[in-house]
Chains A and B, each alone.
Chain A
């Protein structure tokens, strides 16, 4: 784990470029998928919060999955969902306290953010840098 995904709501304009990027990146057979990230009204004027999976350390989704379809990728740190294994039981959807495992009704698949396997498309496309994917040392230095 070298990088970390950082969300800065104060920079988000609610332009929804991230949604578009996510949806295209996860398309199946050319059909756009349900986005794993959504800017939601933060409750204050001009404040949008891009809501996506927090990749929790003690992830409720992983614990809830009875068939081990959810596993942490040791390289990216993301909790990844294996669609071949998933049996669509909705346990993770119900268990995630942040609502970040969702049912893509069109594809009939449960989906969640996988950090695009280590190169999050949303971060690339965010025009205001409200989403960033940066080396851990850098962010530690800045905040620390």
Chain B
């Protein structure tokens, strides 16, 4: 265990754990747009930046992304230093100019006092903020179905060659974790479409309810050693089945005892 100072308060931390983890544990609010615990930090949004210094730095301080900076003994962290706040509003201002229609961006910007951008709004700007959460999640799960393509202002998230990605299993993790809900999908009539790829859902053999796609169930069964039969029923029908089994056993007990 080491000690660091955050906003004047001395707190304990594990050597090497990321500053953001410590900051969050202390319930201090630092905005993030590219952070997700399921994946490696990337340092893309830069909103989590904090000011750091050490007594031996002679008053010199540095600005680092807390999601990526390992805690070290004696570090003095200021999560809301003047420059940091300025930087955050400036970044949110840039986001607002690029994604003026995104409700999520507008709300976050407003929280930091940016109600209207001082920059030129990008016409036809879409709502993907290029945080890379979707691609990193898809990679971490082992699918690598989508990636960042292009560079600079023209960068975008897309499947290879912009065609229905063969590697996608339709788990929807990309769409469900997108901070701006940019990724569209459509689920109806026992089917699912995402990234222009069509999927069939597994329907519960009892009640017909759907939970995941056939492709995902088959993937899990094959790669994670799970009996494919487990996927045939929905959670509710599984619970009923369990109640029935346990009920029969308890009833024998009850009858045996009486």
Contact = CB atoms under 8 A, between A and B. Distances in A.
Direct A–B touching, Cβ under 8 Å = yes
Contacts of B254: 10, 44, 47
Contacts of B217: 94
B238 A91 contact: no
Nearest to B254: A10
A86 interface: yes
B171 A91 contact: yes
B195 interface: no
B220 A64 contact: yes
A101 B141 CA distance: 19
A40 interface: yes
Nearest to A61: B226
A143 to B, nearest CB: 13
B150 interface: no
A37 to B, nearest CB: 10
Contact of B177 (A49, A51, A87): A87
Nearest to B223: A66
Contacts of B211: 90, 93-94
B67 interface: no
A9 B247 contact: yes
Interface in B76-134: none
Contacts of A15: none
B202 interface: yes
Contacts of A87: 36, 38, 137, 141, 173, 176-177
Nearest to B257: A10
A18 to B, nearest CB: 14
Given A64-B220, A89-B141, A98 B173 contact: no
A42 interface: yes
B235 A99 contact: yes
A41 to B, nearest CB: 7
Nearest to B36: A87
A104 B212 CA distance: 16
A12 B205 CA distance: 29
Given A67-B137, A84-B37, A91 B234 contact: no
Interface string B169-207: 001110011000000000000000000000000100000
Contacts of B236: 99
A64 B211 CA distance: 14
A66 B237 CA distance: 24
Nearest to B172: A89
7 contacts: A9-B247, A40-B239, A40-B242, A41-B243, A66-B142, A66-B224, A89-B172
Interface of B: 36-39, 137, 140-142, 171-173, 176-177, 202, 211-212, 216-217, 220, 224-227, 230-231, 233-244, 246-248, 250-251, 253-254
